[in-house]
Amino acid sequence: MINSAKILRAVNILCGTLITIGIISFLYGYFGNDYNVITGVGIGITMGGVFIFIMGLFLVVTEEVVEKNNKISE
């Protein structure tokens, strides 16, 4: 349980940082700059952060379910 909380905390911090950087890059590319490439990079970083968060959450939930099933079967 403690290991799962550490993994979830690390994923939360990492993805929060990525999503923040992605949103800032998107807004800068969309409003502040004439280069459309920065807008796409911002969208990509944001979507990557969301994807990593979903995969980390899935990892933690799967680990919890496996531990619960092992305790029930013993």
Residue 36 belongs to what domain range? Answer: 2-69
| Region 41-56 average pLDDT | 96
| Residue 34 lies inside a defined structural domain of this protein | yes
| Residue 30 lies inside a defined structural domain of this protein | yes
pTM for this structure?
0.83
| Residue 7 lies inside a defined structural domain of this protein | yes
Number of domains in the chain: 1
| Residue 61 lies inside a defined structural domain of this protein | yes
| Residue 74 lies inside a defined structural domain of this protein | no
| Region 22-37 average pLDDT | 89
| Residue 29 lies inside a defined structural domain of this protein | yes
What pLDDT was estimated at residue 33?
Answer: 79
3-state secondary structure the chain: CHHHHHHHHHHHHHHHHHHHHHHHHHHHHHHHCCCCHHHHHHHHHHHHHHHHHHHHHHHHHHHHHHHHHHHHHC
What pLDDT was estimated at residue 1?
Answer: 64
| Residue 45 lies inside a defined structural domain of this protein | yes
| Residue 24 lies inside a defined structural domain of this protein | yes
Classify the phi-psi angles of 22: left when phi > 0, otherwise alpha if psi is within -120 to 50, otherwise beta. alpha
What pLDDT was estimated at residue 34?
Answer: 76
